[in-house]
Each structure stands twice: as structure tokens, then as C-alpha cells.
Structure 1
Amino acid sequence: MTTSPADEPSGAAMTDEEYGALRASAALWAGASVLITDQHGKVLVQRVGYRPFRLLPGGAVDAGESPAHAAARELQEELGVTATPTRGLAVDWVSTTGMRVPAVMKFPGEILHVYDGGVWDDEQIAAITPAEGEIEAVEFVEPADLPGLLSPGDARRALSALRARVDCAGPVLLEDGVPLAPGVLDRAGILRTARTRHHEPFHPEPAPESLPVRQSWGWLFAPDGRVLVLLEPGTGAACLPGGAPEPSDRGDAATTLAREAREEAAATLADTLYLGHLTDPAEPCVRVRYAAALTRLGPVPSDPATGRTYIRVLATPEQVLQLFDWGPEAAAQLTAVHTARTRLGLPRAAQQAVTELAGPTSW
């Protein structure tokens, strides 16, 4: 019996033994890892004694084993947790030059599957039992800290997989941790720098008149229920439209928001609704939050206050929260956001990829 591989020239034929030997000579390693976050967007990493870098849970795929089964097995062996990841986030081709290993290993390249381990609550985290003698510690770290804790290739892969999870775009194909078809979150470098941190208490009632307003931000809704987010090229920092009051605003926080949205994003608003405010224990001030409907976006502007030209994107409110570090208070603000969305007569946004708004748009 002979076999004619699809990539063989016309007329070429090989025995099964020859074809098997040819394919074996091109064999690659296979691996699987699992991306897990806590409820505040921090990533689970493991400290091990045999590597100078932290690792995501995972390891080599055994002979005859599927990558998904390997991921589940590694979770059990390393963390003492029974779970079966079913959703892939990324498939990475790790080249012979992309992984620095001793030459004696004769590393042939590797196909590494990254699975979504989900968002773990306090009970799931408490159930972790690190493998004695292998896992020295389990930590949850900020995404921006991954490049300083993981090897360069592992950090690129983890951040690419995390962006794919935020983007809800399905598994991404990587080469040495870099997407073959980068999305807007990859191009902006989102999550590679520290997320904006506001752990202050959120209050849905009116702000005390005795405290000055330091900041006015807005959840600005498109008709499909998604909101406008601004991404800063170069740093990957995300922000909601808004900013600090100026004298021309005459002490009106809604006017501040409208002005800032116009300057930063060329956005025109309607039906502005007050959501609540954050209080800062370290400073006697408030940071107010509004919701409003978007009616128009002009050409992408340059912010006169900072000189920045932001990337404008639409994202679901749930995606937005993954771009910030707002701690336990984020849930209360999200509830207020959806209440305002309902009052504006807008639908709950369907799960979908983040969309860039590069040009003028009217609704």
C-alpha cells in the first residue's frame, strides 16, 4: 500500500512506513496551559523552584492525550482542582528561536494551547491545594505585571490570550505569542500597563454639595447597548470619556462630561443621567459618574488638554470592567449602569468583539 501526501509532487508515492518516518521527523512538542483570573481581573500564576519565572498552570501533553485533557490533568496535579476547560483562547506556534532552551534538548518547536479556566470566586481560590514539592506558591497578579514575572514568550502568550477573552472573538492564532491577525486591543497594547485603579466606595445617591468634584466620567451608550471607551496608543491605558472640571463648566459636572467627551472623542451626547459618585478616603472630594446616549462622533480628535489621540472603541459594560481595576465596588457601579441603560430605552448588549470607531458616526 502506498500513500500520496497532499503536499507531494504529482506522481510521487511513499510507503506507509516512509510516510510515517517523514512525519515523525517533523514532529513537534505539544503543551497546554490554563488562564485563570479572580473576580477583579488578576491572573493566577505559580511560583516553582525549578524555574526563575512564574508559570501559568499547565504542562506537556502526554502521548495519546488531547490538549484539553492535558489541561484538566495539570489543574488536578498542580492545584488539586477538578475542572475541565472547554473553551480555547489561543493556539501558539512556539518556534525553535522563540523559546530559549538548552541545545541538548533539541527543541523542535511546540504547539501550545491556552484554555480559559474562567473567573474564580473566593471559594474556588480557597480550594486550591498546590502540589507539594512542585508548586511553591500560587499568586494572583495584575496583567501589567506578567512581563516582569513570566518569561517573555509566556508573557506575550498570556496577554494575547487575556485580550482574546476580553474581546470575545474566539481562539486566536499566535506565533511566539504574537497574534497573526491583531485586533484593536492587541494593536493598542491593552492590559500591558497598569489598569486605572479606583477602589473607592460607589454611592448611587447625589454627591454631597460640600465636597468638590475632582472628576466627571461617563458611560456613553451606542444604540446597541455598548459604551464608548478610549484607548491610549503606546501605553494601552483605557479610560471612559470625561475629566476634571474647568472654570468654564461653572461648577456643573454634566457640563464637564459633555465638554470632555467632545474634546477627547468628538462625541455629542443626549439624555444625560446621573449614576452616582465615588468618595476618596484620602482626599475630601468626589468623582461623579453619568450615563448618556451617544448621538454622533466626529473625526478622531486630538485632546487639547493632553495632546493624545485616543483609539475609540465600543465595548459591552462587562468588557469595560475588565479594562479597569475597580475592586469590589465595580459590581455596584455596573448595576447602576444597567439601570440607566434601561431608563434610556436601550437593549443589553450582546456578547461580541470590541469594535473600533475610526471615523465619523451618527446614530
Structure 2
Amino acid sequence: MPQLTDEAAPDEAAPARSAPDEAAPDRSLPARDGSAGTWMTPEAYGASRAAVWTAAVVLVTDTDGRVLVQSVDYRSDRLLPGGAVDAGEAPSAAAAREVREELGVDGRYPRGLAVDWIPADTPGFPAGMRFPGEILYVYDGGTWTPERIASVRLPAQEVTGIHFAEPAELPALMDAGDARRALSALRARINGSGTALLEDGRPTVPTALDRLGVLRTRRTAQRGAWRAGPVPAQLPVRDHRGWLFAPDGRVLLLIARATGAAHLPTPAAVATAAAFPIGYRYGDDCRAEGGEGVHARTAARLTGLPPAGDPAYARLLATPEQVRELSDWGPAGARELESVHAARTRFSLPAPARTPPTELPEAATRW
């Protein structure tokens, strides 16, 4: 950072030093190469700084993991709640004000999910606007219950409606940059590792979820009711997946590299020990695609991996909560998690802290 001075002439005498043996150079004098050094007047320094806009938006999801977007009367695509930060206003205060003005809902949103730098040459801004670039803060609005959603009251103008969208729908509903930013912020929330730094909606340090493009494909709905315990003999099993625990309490999660789709592995695909059934899903969605059946779930210790895993899938370790947030399981997902944590306790494993899902190293399966 340049040094500031009120002096206009760089070659005026410097103030006397109190310690004659100080070795710091006198920057009020010209440098040895004849340049004026780094002194700048406050006026010159202020003029040299980049000027950008500042805005704040809030990412809200419902209990099914869908993202709240709103329709407005001044553009065709949809937006997250939020808007410009007023002069002298803190970004978090702007976020709360905008949600109150646009949706009629009071709240505080102190947790940042992402900070995005939007360059001045971003397409879509009219030339007359002289868009200088923008710093945009994305705050975590949390998960809204049906009761809170029902309390939304739209203003007389500007916001014409709200909609909860499947994350994979956002690129079709929003401006491309807005959709990238929203998905990056949603992945940052699932990662639980703090605020993500973005440039034009892209993380400067992508996590595994970012690199694999998780949530770009619509999640497969499995909304059948949860039943704990073994599958009854009279019910056919249409799908069998495993909650396979690593020693740190996390579980194995597969991500399709081509689509970013997330799902639990089949127990037979990897080496396991101490397997036992924890429950099954049963309902209308389990009878789809040509027949009745249930989705069975088994818990087991993960003890090893095949020598050459399927290259079509990335193998991640994630917390059970992260697995649920990447899945579309409906209200029964909470009951399934209860059974999963009961299985973890039965294995005497720790409750894992929320950290970004990581690709599975062989060492992670050693007990």
C-alpha cells in the first residue's frame, strides 16, 4: 500500500526522527533512481482505488433442500432475495432489510456462505449503466419451515412471486452467473467449511463437490416412508444400498462424474464387516418403474475397496447429514438419519464433524 502524505512535493525535508540509529529509508525524498518513491496525497490515493458496487443476497431452502427464488417485475429471470447495499450500511444489515422488504419476513443472517467478485465486463449490463463491477455477499438464510414460508407477504410491486426450485433447475431459471453463485453457495453450506471466495460465481479454491459439479443434475426422489428393521420376507427388494462407515464416523458416498449425481453404494461393491439391516423405504415411489418393491438399507464397517474402482464414480467420505442434504428423501429422511446414527453408536464410532467431503484414500478404511 502506498504511503500517504499531505505534502505535495516529495523532495521536502522529512521530519526529524527521534531515534538517530533507525535504518528505515526517508520516503519523503526521491528514490536513488530518481523516482518520487511511494508517497501519494490522500486525493491521489483515493482516485487510484477501484470503485465497485456492493450487494447482498440470502440463500434460503425448504425442508426438501429446494432453493427459494423470486420473480420480479423488471426482468424475466429469477433471483435470490436481496439487493444493493445502501451507503454506510453493513452487508448483513442490507440482507436482512431486503428480505424484510421483499418477503415480509424478519430475520438476521450473520453467516456468510460466499463472497463473489463480479467483473466489470460481465455481459447483460446496459452500457449506460457504466457497471464498475460488484462485490456480492451471499448469506445463509437457513431452512424455512412450511409455517415460515406461509408467513411470506409480498410487496405491492417489484416481487411478483416466489418459488422453491430444485438446485439443478437454477441454471434454467436464473442468469448464468447468478445460478453459478447460488450453487456454489449451496455447496459451501453443505461443506460447512466457512465462506467460499468466488470470482464470477466460481470458487477460487474448488472443493470436491465443486469439482464434481454436484447438484447440477436433478436429485432422484426417494420419498417412501421409512421403516426401521429388516425387510419383511413378503416384500421384494428393488434397490439395496449401504451406509458404510469409515473409522472416523463418516460414510462412503458415490458421485457420478458425468452427472454429479450422488447416491449411496451397494454393499457388495466394497469390502465390509459386521453388516446388518437398519431399515427400508416403502411407498408410492418404490412401486414406480414396473413393480412393487422397497429400498433396503444396510449398515456396515467399511474395510476396503476394490483394487480398481469404477472410474465413472468418485468415492467420497461425507457425514450422514451431508448425504441427506445431497438427496431428495422428503420428511422420512430425518427418521432414516436416526437409524443411521443408531448404527454408528452400535459400531462405537464418533459423531463426525461437518467438514468438506473428501475423496476416499485407502488409509481411510484401515481400522
Stretch moving more, 60-69 or 90-99:
90-99
The one-letter code sitting in structure 2 at the alignment partner of 1:158 is: A
Contact 1:297-1:361 at 8 Å conserved across structures: no
> Residue 126 of structure 1: CA displacement?
1.4
Shift of 1:149: 0.4
Q: Which structure would you say has the larger Rg?
A: 2
Q: 1:10 to 1:161 in 2, by over 3 A?
A: farther
Match of 2:6 in 1: 2
Number of the residue aligned with 1:80:
104
Q: How does 1:257-336 map to 2 (within 5 A)?
A: 257=267, 259=268, 261=269, 267-281=270-284, 282=287, 283-302=291-310, 309-336=312-339
126, 135, 142: which one pairs with 1:111? 135
Amino acid in structure 1 at the alignment position of 2:38: A
Contact 2:229 2:277 in 1 (8 A): no
Cα distance 1:335–1:106, how it changes in 2: closer, same or farther (>3 A)? same
Structure 1 range deviating more: 38-47 or 117-126: 117-126
Deviation at 1:21, TM superposition (A): 2.5
**Distance in structure 2 (CA, Å) of the matches to 1:10 and 1:169:** 45
Whole-Å Cα distance in 2 between the matches of residues 359 and 210 of structure 1?
Answer: 39
Residue segments in structure 1 that go unaligned for 5+ positions in a row:
243-256, 262-266, 303-307
CA distance in 2, matches of 1:67, 1:129: 23
Q: What is the CA distance between 1:39 and its match in structure 2? A: 1.1
Matches of 2:123 and 2:346, distance apart in 1: 53
Aligned to 1:31: 55
2:47 to 13, 17, 21: 21
Q: Please show how residues 60-139 of structure 1 align to structure 2 within 5 Å.
A: 60-139=84-163
Structure 1 residue matching 2:77: 3-state secondary structure: coil
Query: In structure 2, how many angstroms separate the alpha carbons of the residues matched to 1:336 and 1:292?
Result: 13
Match of 1:203 in 2: 227
Provide structure 2 residue ranges, at least 5 long, that are not aligned to the other structure: 11-26, 28-34
1:314 alignment partner AA: L
In structure 2, how many angstroms separate the alpha carbons of the residues matched to 1:96 and 1:275?
54
Give the 3-state SS of the residue equivalent to 1:2 in structure 2.
coil
Any conservation in 2 of the 1:200–1:278 contact (CA below 8 Å)?
yes
Written as runs of structure 1 = structure 2, the 5 A alignment for 1:237-252 is 237-242=261-266
TM-score by length of 1: 0.87
The residue identity in structure 2 corresponding to 1:172 is A
Q: Distance in 1 between matches of 2:364 and 2:308?
A: 10
Are 1:340 and 2:343 an aligned pair? yes
Aligned residue for 2:79, secondary structure, equals coil
Quick one: percent identity of the two aligned structures? 52
Other-structure match for 2:240: 216
Secondary structure of 2:352's partner?
A: coil
Q: How far 1:65 moved relative to its partner?
A: 1.0
Distance 2:83 2:225 in 1: 41
Contact 1:296–1:360, Cα closer than 8 Å, also in 2: no
Rounded Cα–Cα distance in structure 2 between residues aligned with 1:69 and 1:119: 19
Contact 2:191–2:354 (CA under 8 A) maintained in structure 1 = no
Q: Which moves more between the two structures, 100-109 or 123-132?
A: 123-132
Between the aligned partners of 1:189 and 1:323, the Cα distance in structure 2 is 12
* 196-205 vs 231-240, greater mean Cα deviation: 196-205
SS across alignment from 1:53: strand
Query: 1:353, 1:10 → 2: CA distance?
Result: 49
Pair 1:147-2:171 in alignment: yes
Distance of 1:224 and 1:13 partners within structure 2? 55
How many Å separate the matches in 2 of 1:104 and 1:310? 48
Of residues 27, 30, 38, the one that matches 1:12 is: 38
Q: How many residues align?
A: 333
- Matched with 1:185 is 209
Aligned to 1:252: none
- Note the C-alpha offset of 1:13: 2.2
What is the deviation of 1:171? Answer: 0.7
Root-mean-square deviation (CA), in Å? 1.9
Matched AA of 2:297: R
Instruction: Decide whether the 8 Å contact of 2:55 with 2:91 is kept in 1.
Output: yes
TM-score, with length taken from structure 2: 0.86
Q: CA contact under 8 A between 2:257 and 2:313: conserved in structure 1?
A: yes
Deviations 1:262-318 (A, max 9, x none): xxxxx310111211111243332122111111112344512xxxxx53111111111
SS state at 2:193 partner:
coil
Amino acid at match of 1:60: A
Q: CA deviation at 1:73?
A: 0.8
